[in-house]
Amino acid sequence: GLIVTSAVYMTVVEGFRPTLKSIPRVVIWMNVYALIVFFINTAIGSNYLMINHKPELPSLLDLLPEWPIYILYMEAIGIVSMLILYIPFAIKDLRTYYLLNKDNASRLDSILK
């Protein structure tokens, strides 16, 4: 819960916001992190991030293919989730862009007259 809370806090209170450039950076660093966790899991016999195998208990991961293909599906689901969460920021950016261009176009018209 603190991960979500900190993301909301940093966006709302501190004024940070995601960009489209953030998504590839998140994907790359998540893959690096997952690779490190894979080797740690192998060394100590754990399954953090469910990277080494699916959980023994039934879960939504049972709907995905077997290891290692389900990892690619989880990554795709993560990317789609990030894109969906980015939609409000994209809408705000588009509105700002069109408002600025509209204002600039009207200013140009008034200067030319």
pLDDT of residue 104 exceeding 70: no
Cis peptide before 65 (omega within 30 of 0): no
Residues 3 and 59 sit within 8 Å (Cβ to Cβ): no
Give the contacts of 38 (CB within 8 A, at least 6 positions apart). Answer: 51, 52
34-60 residue pLDDT tens = 999 999 999 999 999 999 998 889 988
Task: Give yes or no for a contact between 100 and 94, defined as CB atoms under 8 angstroms apart.
Answer: no
pTM (predicted TM-score): 0.73
Length of the chain: 113
Query: What values do phi and psi take at 53, rounded to 5?
Result: -170, 165
Q: What is the pLDDT of residue 43?
A: 97
